DNA sequence: AGCACACATGAATCGACGG
DNA sequence: GCCGTCGATTCATGTGTGC
């Protein structure tokens, strides 16, 4: 289904609630096949449509200064070489699609500058841009948008609660992606729903790091073959926070790399108008069907899932890093029968055993398991105390 | 206090016991005043010294390929006009925002490329670079280091547990900083203490997002006036994780923007050698006093959980030679689906396949590869166990 | 039905060493 | 430098299956 197939549908973005700043543009009366973009007059934006073809050409065909916010998930230029297998020998289904391959950094930079320039033209004066990326591309994109005149407002870290691990043990688990939020111009006024975000976050200011799970399970769109319909579908919770936080109801949101249409789905749920651009006909079909099926959220359930805080887990190593204990220091067991020395990596050594606080405790006691936090004691200013006291100190800090 | 003031001090990083990979360079016998850098011959690195003056000149005076790791916390104020590498073609008369922005970024980019290039020259082939920054500069620095030929290994998010709130309520609370970890070259071998980091994190691999508080309280250095001695002092816990995770004991660590000397303090504690460069005489004094007061951890507590990678290799044939298994004996796969017979030359036979323990396992499972040590099991006195147990017996003998 | 366990999978720049 | 072989390496979730 291409964008034109949806021409007869009713406007997919009825604005259900009164907007503080009504900004709804009229839907184009007769949208036409759009692979070859046609100049669009102001006031006839192709709202609720997925335009086909190259996003730069399509953006250049839109009227200048007509869009409130742009969310862009451009190719990351991952530069993968060989295959990667998990320890169980299964193969990782990597992103090796043709659209993610570029001929070096300078080709990628040219591409970035081109779409960023076109995007900036269609933004309204108070408009903002969101881009998401990883370390492969985000520095290129960030520099390019600064060069193009955008003004960075924040960088936002999406901390994945369930990232793919690092299988070879050669790097840190790549457990986050970076978003950049930028205004079209320095000093311009832009939309920021401070209070809405604060209440979304249990009454405290929304920070620049967001903990959200990756898109999986029922939310992940599948093809007829049961495989994932899009290799990099973003979770709707991410877009929910972006849209709720930085646009007004009725705003026009443009996504030049529409993919599976997460931006459109979230926008529709939240009463914002949207325009998508996507080259791949299969992705367009998937996105169209998805968005047509969208019904407004049960807002209460979304709020809970988005703001759920996880209980802080304090590794013993952090007690060392924070200097509450020192490598070389001796710990004693609560019953006074055993001693062990702390090492710089958070393991203990006692005679011929070494390992975590739990492992060494269990080994010395000949027990199947042992809670090292309560088993081991240190000599504190007020006498001997379990090291759990130190953990409590760190947990208390996190709460404050 | 300039670097020369510390000339008479004993080397602050005596490596007491043999390190796994001894990499300690000799301390310069007669360090001299160093504001005007002097070419340093290989083998006379100014270890434990804080060099004065411009970091680019100082780095260029160091021998090529002499440093294991560089930690850099570059300035990111764009007020570079005047002092830093400004091209003298420009006269600042009119207020032209676009030009001013471009000039600001391009001057900063030149500065970044210059120090990154100098840093890369002094790095050993397997050396790595750490840089820390915020959204003001990290995209520029990240792009520049990619352009200079560094290979990004990770970007790391330092998630501050106690950030400064956003008072005006116009943006997200800026609650993190970004670090980039990069190798000198693509494909080079670099140090990564996977197991140590995993131990430090309670047995799960270390992720790219680190939760640590900002530097405050007793750790925060104060001047005589009671005010903070340095505006952006980094917490030592951050450097502890960086150094423990990505260098070996005895490594040479260089910090070209030494500031209050957190890198030197953490390096000294962890039994690594260090070199600092700092322009500001007050910061040099603060750092010198701070580091002199640091006592290193003892060597045993610096020993870190070893990876199996570093264990000596035992050929399977040796298990036979030592009589731990007998030719003709049957092995079974861990999943119980396959059997194979041991031959006298250390190969296995199963139906129509024969070869090494790895090859036969891979063939039977239809997998690209297989670790035969953990795949194959034998019938031991206490039931079925992986043949890896026998190997560990031999490794343990070697240790004693 | 409910529980236990197996299995699948996610934007991935993911070796070392000897011949 | 190429090539073959050894052998090191995973976390959080969701779904499916079998008892």
Separation of B309 CA and C16 C1' (Å)? 9
Q: Which nucleotides of C are covered by protein (CB under 7 A)?
A: 8-16
How far apart (Å, rounded) are the C-alpha atoms in residues A258 and A262? 8
Q: What is the mean pLDDT of each run of 10 residues along chain B (400 residues)?
A: 34 34 41 59 88 98 97 78 38 44 82 98 97 97 98 98 92 98 96 97 97 95 94 96 97 98 98 97 98 95 88 94 95 90 96 94 90 92 89 84
Q: Which nucleotides of D are covered by protein (CB under 7 A)?
A: 5-15
| Residue B82 exposed, middle or buried by CB count within 10 Å (0-12, 13-18, 19+) | exposed
Higher pLDDT, A196 or A246: A246
When the candidates are 3.40.50.920, 3.40.50.300, 3.40.50.150, 3.20.20.220, the CATH number that belongs to B49-82+91-293 is 3.40.50.150
How far apart (Å, rounded) are the C-alpha atoms in residues B16 and B249? 11
Alpha-carbon dihedral of residues A55, A57, A62, A67, nearest 10 degrees?
30
| Residue B332 approaches strand D within 7 Å at CB | no
**Per-residue confidence band for A38, with pLDDT thresholds at 50, 70 and 90:** confident
| Residue A219 exposed, middle or buried by CB count within 10 Å (0-12, 13-18, 19+) | middle
The pLDDT of residue B142: 98
How far apart (Å, rounded) are the C-alpha atoms in residues B347 and B354? 7
How far apart (Å, rounded) are the C-alpha atoms in residues A125 and A6? 30
Domain range summary for chain A, segments of one domain joined by +: 49-82+91-293, 316-399
The pLDDT of residue A36: 67
Beta carbons of A273 and A251 less than 8 angstroms apart: yes
Half-sphere exposure of A265 (CA within 13 A, CB side): 26
Mean pLDDT of all residues in chain A? 88
Of B139, B151, B155, give the one whose Cα is nearest residue A157. Answer: B155
B353: alpha, beta or left? (left if phi > 0; alpha if psi -120 to 50): beta
How far apart (Å, rounded) are the C-alpha atoms in residues A243 and A250? 11
Structure tokens at B128: 């790595």
Which single residue is written with the structure tokens 């504190």? A380
Of B269, B328, B213, B191, give the one whose Cα is nearest residue A318. Answer: B213
pLDDT at A318 over 80: yes
Half-sphere exposure of A81 (CA within 13 A, CB side): 2
| Residue A98 approaches strand C within 7 Å at CB | no
DSSP state of B368: S
Nearest by CB: A356 against B193, B203, B298:
B203
Contacts for B334 with CB less than 8 Å, ≥ 6 apart: B374, B375, B376, B377, B386
Alpha-carbon dihedral of residues B333, B338, B342, B343, nearest 10 degrees?
-140
Is A254 strand, coil or helix?
A: strand
The pLDDT of residue A35: 62
Spell out which residues of A between 58 and 77 contact strand C, using CB within 7 Å: 73-77
pLDDT at A199 over 90: no
B301/A172 CB distance under 8 A: no
Nearest by CB: B192 against A171, A207, A315:
A171
The pLDDT of residue B88: 37
The pLDDT of residue A311: 64
How far apart (Å, rounded) are the C-alpha atoms in residues B190 and B183? 7
Instruction: Supply the Cα-derived Rg of chain A in whole angstroms.
Output: 26
How far apart (Å, rounded) are the C-alpha atoms in residues B140 and A84? 31
Structure tokens at A4: 């034109």
Q: Minimal Cα–Cα distance from B269 to chain A, Å? A: 9
Nearest by CB: B206 against A159, A173, A343:
A173
Strand spans (E) along chain A: 49-52, 67-72, 123-133, 151-160, 176-183, 209-212, 252-255, 273-278, 330-333, 339-342, 348-350, 353-355, 376-380, 383-386
The pLDDT of residue B36: 64
Of B367, B356, B218, give the one whose Cα is nearest residue B293. Answer: B218
> What DSSP assignment string belongs to B201-237?
TTTS--BSEEEEPPS-GGGS-B-TTSSBSSTTPPPHH
Structure tokens at A317: 């190593």
Q: B243-293 pLDDT, tens per residue? A: 999 999 999 999 999 999 999 999 999 999 999 999 999 999 999 999 999
Distance separating the N- and C-terminal Cα atoms of chain B: 49
In the complex, which nucleotide's C1' lies nearest to the CA atom of residue A94?
A: C12
| Residue A337 approaches strand C within 7 Å at CB | no
Structure tokens at A237: 């919770």
Beta carbons of B94 and B73 less than 8 angstroms apart: no
Q: A356-397 pLDDT, tens per residue? A: 999 999 999 999 889 999 999 999 888 999 999 999 999 888
């Amino acid at each position: 289904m291409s964008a034109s197939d949806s021409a007869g549908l009713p406007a997919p973005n009825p604005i259900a609630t009164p907007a503080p700043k009504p900004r709804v543009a009229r839907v184009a009366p007769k949208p036409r096949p759009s692979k070859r973009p046609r100049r669009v007059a102001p006031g006839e934006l192709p709202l609720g449509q997925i335009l086909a073809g190259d996003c730069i050409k399509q953006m250049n065909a839109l009227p200048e200064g007509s869009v409130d916010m742009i969310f862009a998930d451009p190719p990351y230029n991952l530069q993968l070489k060989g295959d990667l297998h998990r320890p169980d020998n299964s193969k990782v289904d990597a992103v090796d699609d043709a659209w993610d391959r570029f001929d070096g950094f300078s080709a990628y930079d040219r591409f970035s500058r081109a779409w960023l320039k076109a995007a900036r033209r269609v933004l309204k004066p108070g408009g903002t841009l969101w881009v998401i990326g990883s370390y492969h591309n985000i520095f290129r994109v960030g520099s390019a948008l600064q060069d193009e005149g955008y003004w960075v407002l924040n960088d936002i870290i999406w901390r994945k609660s369930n990232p793919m691990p690092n299988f070879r043990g050669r790097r840190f688990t790549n457990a986050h992606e970076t978003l950049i939020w930028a205004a079209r111009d320095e000093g311009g006024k832009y939309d920021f729903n401070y209070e809405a975000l604060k209440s979304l976050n249990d009454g405290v200011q929304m920070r620049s790091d967001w903990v959200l799970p990756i898109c999986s399970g029922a939310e992940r769109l599948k093809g007829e073959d049961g495989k994932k319909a899009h290799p990099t579908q973003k979770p709707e919770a991410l877009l929910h926070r972006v849209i709720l936080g930085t646009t007004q109801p009725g705003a026009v949101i443009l996504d030049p790399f529409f993919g599976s249409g997460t931006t459109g789905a979230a926008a529709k749920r939240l009463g914002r108008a949207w325009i998508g651009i996507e080259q791949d006909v299969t992705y367009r079909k998937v996105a169209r069907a998805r968005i047509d099926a969208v019904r407004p959220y049960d807002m209460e359930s979304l709020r809970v899932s988005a703001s759920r805080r996880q209980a802080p887990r304090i590794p013993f190593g952090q007690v060392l890093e924070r200097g509450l204990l020192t490598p070389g220091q001796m710990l004693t067991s609560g019953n006074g029968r055993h001693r062990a020395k702390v090492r710089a990596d958070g393991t203990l050594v006692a005679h011929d055993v070494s390992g975590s606080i739990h492992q060494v405790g269990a080994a010395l006691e000949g027990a199947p398991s042992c809670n090292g936090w309560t088993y081991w004691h240190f000599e504190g200013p007020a006498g001997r105390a379990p090291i759990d006291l130190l953990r409590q100190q760190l947990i208390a800090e996190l709460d404050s």
